[in-house]
Amino acid sequence: MSEAWTHEWREAATRVDAWARPAPTANFTPWGSDGTHPRRRASDFAPTPPPARESNAAVDIDSLRAEAFAEGFEQGRQTVIAEFARDREALAQLIRAAEALQPEPAGPLAAVLAETVTRLVRQIVGEVSIDPAMLKERAETIAELVTAESGPARLRMNPDDIAMLEGVDLGIPVAPDHHLSSGTIVLENGEGWIEDGPQVRLARLRTQLDAMGLPR
């Protein structure tokens, strides 16, 4: 038994039941209440962190450079591959577009062009009035083809053109022909006939246009 519990203290102690609160006594002093022992803070009981480990391994500069170079090289390679793929796709589209441009037969296109040109020329000829001076020059040129050996000859012309050349001596008879268009001159003789005029020249133009469209 501890010697701290003396006989005098035991005699002075007051008997209490188990559920009763002990009476305050002047003989009990809490530890540290006298100021000789300062109270400790909760932080004083916190665990002390372990000391930081110091890395003794030296940084390998060459390895870092090699890794950076490899990473940059891989990024550049991926960029080149992507650009090459885009170029191949563009080339493939160009090839498909070129294959769609199949050559068309020249005949149908030439026929359309010939018909268009002929129609335009006919429209122009129909709208332009006949020049009397030019008509006279053409009639005289055809009349000069008549010779004594060719036999009797005559000119056939549109009645309006004959009226336009009234008073002009062509040296051969002139007969009206309502079936001839204005500007057309037909020379008849014993050997045959010669015709000149807008319709004849249109026919020649159409023949030349058709010949241009024939495959060679």
What is the percent of the chain where pLDDT is above 70? 50
Where are the chain's structural domains?
64-101, 111-213
pLDDT digits over 87-125, tens only? Answer: 888 888 877 776 665 555 555 655 666 667 667 666 665
Q: CA dist 90 to 59, 78, 86, 97, 99, Å?
A: 48, 19, 6, 11, 14
Q: Pairing between strand 192-196 and 154-157?
A: unpaired
Residue 103 DSSP label: P
| DSSP string computed for 184-200 | -EEEEETTEEEEESHHH
pLDDT-based confidence at 216, cuts 50/70/90? very low
What 3-state DSSP class applies to 176?
strand
Cα separation, 157 vs 168, in Å, equals: 14
* Pairwise CA distance, residues 37 & 56, whole Å: 44
Cβ atoms of 152 and 120 closer than 8 Å: no
pLDDT higher than threshold 80 for residue 71? yes
pLDDT in tens, 120-137: 666 665 555 667 787 778
Quick: pLDDT tens for 135-144.
778 777 777 7
Output the average pLDDT for the chain: 71
What predicted TM-score, i.e. pTM, was given to this entire model? 0.37
Q: What is the DSSP string of 112-131?
A: HHHHHHHHHHHHHHHHSPPP
Q: Mean pLDDT, to the nearest integer, of 44-52?
A: 60
Query: How many other C-beta atoms can be found within 10 angstroms of the C-beta atom of residue 185?
Result: 24
CATH number of 111-213: 3.20.20.80, 3.20.20.70, 3.40.50.720, 3.30.2320.30?
3.30.2320.30
